Amino acid sequence: MLVGFGAKEGNRFSTSDKLGSHLKQLLGEAELRLQELGGLLDEPCVPLNTRASFSSIIGSAYQTSAMAGCAGGDTEKQAIAWGRRAKQLKRLVLGFTQARPPDPPSLVALDITACNAVSIRLQEPTSSDSPITTKFKVQWSTRPDFSILTGETEITDMSKPSCNIDLTQGRRYFFRASCGNLKGYGAYLTSTPCFVTPSSWRKLMEESRGLVVS
């Protein structure tokens, strides 16, 4: 839901492993503080829904107002506040560990927009079981096996999952795209059509007639 209203994946952590380590560190600190206060984390932990936004849970993990209000108060109130924080973090760590990259896009559509440019339209996976998509990666190559990439781009604006790409006129290009989130990118889907050759009608007519333009 947050992504639909323009929310974007943060860039505070360069890799998902670093984010996972940070969450575990926060959980360890919360559990240590709870132990010092004599509290127990005895409620069962419910896994995080993989389609939920991680940021919606991360926000609650950083809440400090309730605990700040307990500063100077009795130990029981502080234990309750830290216990709530520890349970939220434990749920987040479990959900993050079980999460996975999204399924392939449901659509990777190509349109030639100029004699040396194309536009690409993308759609998220249609399966309700697919984890949330927060970004797309588009790759293009002059080889059908993508053994050598000509270029790639990342799309993070989920409100407009499309892009324009400048190419060399007259060359054949293959395209593919994948969906991604905090856990990385999933499998690629080949574009429709599977390749394009940007050109102009004038050039095609000249080539078909065997004309040479000086």
Closest to 134 in 3D by CA, of 54, 19, 23, 22: 54
In percent, the amount of the chain with pLDDT more than 90 equals: 39
**How high is the pLDDT of residue 66?**
47
Predicted TM-score of the model (pTM): 0.61
In percent, the amount of the chain with pLDDT more than 70 equals: 66
| Mean pLDDT of all residues belonging to the chain | 77
User: Going by C-beta distance under 8 Å and a sequence separation of 6 or more, which residues neighbour residue 116?
Assistant: 166, 167, 168, 169, 198
State the average pLDDT over residues 28-37.
80
Radius of gyration of the CA atoms of the chain, in A: 25
Answer for the pair 99, 131: CB distance below 8 angstroms, yes or no: yes
**How high is the pLDDT of residue 1?**
40
* More confident: 75 or 97: 75
What gap in Å lies between CA 37 and CA 191, rounded to an integer?
A: 57
* More confident: 98 or 171: 171
User: pLDDT tens-digit profile of 51-96?
Assistant: 444 444 445 444 544 454 444 457 888 888 888 888 877 777 776 6
- The 3-state DSSP class for residue 3 equals helix
Q: Which two tokens stand for residue 11?
A: 């860039």
Q: How many residues does the chain have?
A: 214
- In this predicted structure, the answer to whether residue 14 has a pLDDT above a threshold of 70 is no
- In this predicted structure, the answer to whether residue 117 has a pLDDT above a threshold of 90 is yes
Least confident range from 16-25, 52-61, 173-182: namely 52-61
* More confident: 45 or 139: 139
**How high is the pLDDT of residue 10?**
58
**How high is the pLDDT of residue 207?**
55
Least confident range from 32-41, 49-58, 124-133, 136-145: namely 49-58
Which domains, from first to last, does the chain contain? 3-98 (no CATH), 107-207 (2.60.40.10)
